[in-house]
Amino acid sequence: MPRRRKLRKIVAPPGFRGYKPYGFRGGRNNGHVDLLYEEYEAIKLVDYDLMNHLEASSLMGISRPTFARIYESARRKIAQALAESREIRTVYGNAYMDKTWYICNDCNARFTIPDSINHYTCAICKSENISSVTSNN
């Protein structure tokens, strides 16, 4: 029986779908790297929120060695994207969130919908063209 992969808790999805390089030599498409949501979260917690690995791993509900692996993988992917002028795309990976997050396909806003509301529209522009972030794109 395949072992179920342990999910990594993240606080919020990235506020973007990806990053694209511009103005680089050749100007052609060099491909992309897939940055998992949990990798994005690991980088953000340590290098933006300035937490240590112990704090960050407990916030994500994983062991410190597992956190260190995710963090290392995130750094390598970002370094590869920079060094090779590659696009970065965010993908869901093995993350989970306390709330269901949605992406607006019209204005790219990220938002949650309170349980008390059953009308699913963008919190910013009121578009009905929204998707759950758990689905890829």
Q: Give the residue, chosen from 72, 125, 132, 137, that forms a contact with Zn ion under the rule CB under 5 A.
A: 125
- 107 touches Zn ion (CB under 5 A): yes
Beta bridge partners of 131: 103
- 124 touches Zn ion (CB under 5 A): yes
Count how many Cα atoms sit within 13 Å of the Cα of residue 125 in the half-sphere of its side chain: 12
Look up residue 7 and give its DSSP letter: P
Per CB under 5 A, which region of 62-70, 71-79, 81-89, 109-117 contacts Zn ion? 109-117
- 104 touches Zn ion (CB under 5 A): yes
State which residue, 9 or 110, has the beta carbon closest to Zn ion.
110
One DSSP character per residue, 123-135 reads TTT--S-EEETTS
Q: Hey, how many other C-beta atoms are within 10 angstroms of the C-beta on 114?
A: 8
Positions in the binding site for Zn ion (CB under 5 A) = 104, 106-107, 109, 122, 124-125, 127
